[in-house]
Every structure is written in structure tokens, then in C-alpha cells.
Amino acid sequence: MKKGCLVVIIVLAVLLALLAAGVFVAYRIGDQRMGLSQAPVISHEQAVKGDTRIRFVISPEKLAPFIAAYLPPKMQEAVARFMNAEDALSMVLPREIALLARSDILGKNMGLTLFANEKYLGRMIQERVNGSEFFSNIPQINWTTNGFELPERGFLYAEGNLPFPDSVEEDLNKLWPVAAKEPAAAAEGTSQAELVIDNRNGDILAVAGALVQASGQDWNLLKENQYGRTAIGIMESIHIGRLKADMMDMDTAAIQLRIDSDAEKGPGLQFLLSGLALPYLREHIKKNYALVLEGELPWNAGENAIIGSFKLTGLKPFLQSRLAQMQ
């Protein structure tokens, strides 16, 4: 081989090596700044603190096909220039988002944790959300972290608390004098969205007190009127509540509701929910959102539980209009 050819080959090899090193360094920098690599799968259970008895868990990754179909045409066209909208959402959407709540009697508040198992672009998501007005738009919550924190890839979280009135402690001690010994009920993790409330320590009442105070109302006055007493009676009757929702098609969701109670209070609770709450809910969402809710809430004496199956229709135009407003 001629000496000139050898020199050319060596120069090319060096250039390729430098190019490969440059690409690697650029990728590493981009990964550190934005999170280009895939983050590990981390469950919201790793973000649970203390006696967390309220869990609201959504699986956005499972909803990607539906969200892609709901996007306004202009947004779909913009995304389609680079890649399929569903594939893009599958990359950007977290595997899981969870809101966890626990009552803190000594601190007189509901401790809150907002968790997301980001898949890609975790650092960028953190910066974009923290740079927005997301947290400042919820001033009722005392955020104890500086927005979202990302101590490791896949573990994006924020913490805060929502104070409840001083008298809530007395209410809890009166209605739930003995603390539950059983571990808190956990999410089953099989649905696109799931809400689990273990009320054996009265956490629903603590949440209600916190929300009433956050809205600027007087908890002590509210709980003494007829509606307040009825609401507290309903709360007292609930042991564990579990609501699961899954999209069946682009316009319909299947909803499963189970409320564990006891033989003494359960039938009365079922009567109130089926006779008052459910008809009101049906009428409200039909009138204001053009949504139709079908299904009933029967009492199952064998399981000491109210177990209902529902079908919610009208979601496609409802969600499309909401997404269009976000443009």
C-alpha cells in the first residue's frame, strides 16, 4: 500500500473516532440535560410515605392511542411532520402519575405527594413544569419542595400539604377512636385510572375538612347543618372505596365502583348514593358536559359492599373540545 493511501486511511479513522466521540459526548450531555435515554420503571409505591391511605393513579402511557386521536387536527399535523402522534405521546407521556395523600393529625394537614414515573425527557419535563405557573396556580397547597424534583431518572416528584381545621382532630378521634391495624389498601394497577381510599382511619373526613377550609368556608358551621351531618354520616359508613376506569373505545369508558361497608350502615349508604347522589350526578354531567352515565349501585349483602358497573359515553366530543381550548 502506498504511503499516501495509508495516511488518508489513518486520517479518516481519526476523524471517524473524533466524530463518534463527539456524538457520544453530545448524547451524554443531552441525556443529562433532557433525559434522552429510557428511565427505569418505578412504581408510585416507592414514593409512599407514612400511613398513606389515599392513592389516585393514572397510566398515561396506556392512554396514548386515545389522546392521539383526540388531538385537534392542527396539532396532529404539527406532530406528524416528525413522527406518528401515538409514538410521540408514548415517548413523552409518563408511565404513571400518582397523587398520594395521608392525614397528619399532629401537623393538622393532609400530606401530599405528586409522583410521575417519567419515561423519556424527565429533566426537560421538570424544567418546563417548574418554569410554568403549575404550582403557583394551586396556592391552597403549601409546597415543601421547589416544584418537581428529580433525584434519579424515573422518579419525578413534588411534595406539599393542605391544612385542615383544628376541630378535625376532635372529629376524627370521636368517629374513629381506634386506629386501623390493617395495612392501607393499595392500587391494583390493572386499570388506566384508579382511585383507592382506605377510610378506616377517617381520611375522607380529613380531606373534606381541608377542602372546605381551602375554599374559604367554615368547617364547623358546615358540619352542623343538615347537609353536613348527612355527608359526615356517609363518610363514616365507608371503609374502603375503589374506583377504576378504562377506555372501551374513543367515546366510552367503563367504570367500576366498589365501596366496602358493613351490614349495619351499608344498606343506608347505598340508599343515599343510589337515590340522591347518583341521579344528581347523572343530571349534572348530562346538562353541563353532554355526558351520559349508565349503571346502578346495588348492595351486595354477601360481600358487605356496594358494587356498581357503569358506562360513560360522550367522551370524544367532550375531550376534543377541551384539548382544542388548550391550543
Q: Are 102 and 111 in contact (CB under 8 A)?
A: yes
Residue 27 has pLDDT above 70, yes or no: no
Query: Nearest Cα to 260, choosing from 311, 299, 205?
Result: 299
DSSP letter (8 states) at residue 144: -
Residue 233 has pLDDT above 60, yes or no: yes
Task: Output the pLDDT for position 270.
Answer: 96
Domain ranges of the chain: 49-117+162-325
- Measured CA to CA in angstroms, residue 141 lies from 145, 161, 255, 320, 324 at distances of 11, 6, 29, 30, 28
Task: Output the pLDDT for position 250.
Answer: 94
- Grid coordinates of 303: 360481600
pLDDT tens by residue, 140-184: 999 999 999 999 999 999 999 999 999 999 999 999 998 888 999
DSSP β-bridge partners for residue 213: none
Query: Nearest Cα to 53, choosing from 251, 226, 205, 253?
Result: 205
For the residues of 54-104, what is the DSSP string, one character each?
A: EEEEE-HHHHHHHHHHHS-HHHHHHHHTTS-HHHHHHHHS-SEEEEEEEEE
Name the band, by pLDDT with cuts 50, 70 and 90, for residue 304: very high
Residue 59 has pLDDT above 90, yes or no: yes
The counts of H helices and E strands in the chain are: 12, 12
Task: Output the pLDDT for position 84.
Answer: 75
DSSP β-bridge partners for residue 258: 242, 307
Please state, in angstroms and rounded to a whole number, the distance separating the CA atoms of residues 93 and 100: 19
* Three-state secondary-structure class, residue 186: coil
Return the minimum-mean-pLDDT range out of 31-40, 111-120, 237-246, 262-271.
31-40
The whole-model pTM stands at 0.86
Compute the average pLDDT of residues 233-250: 96
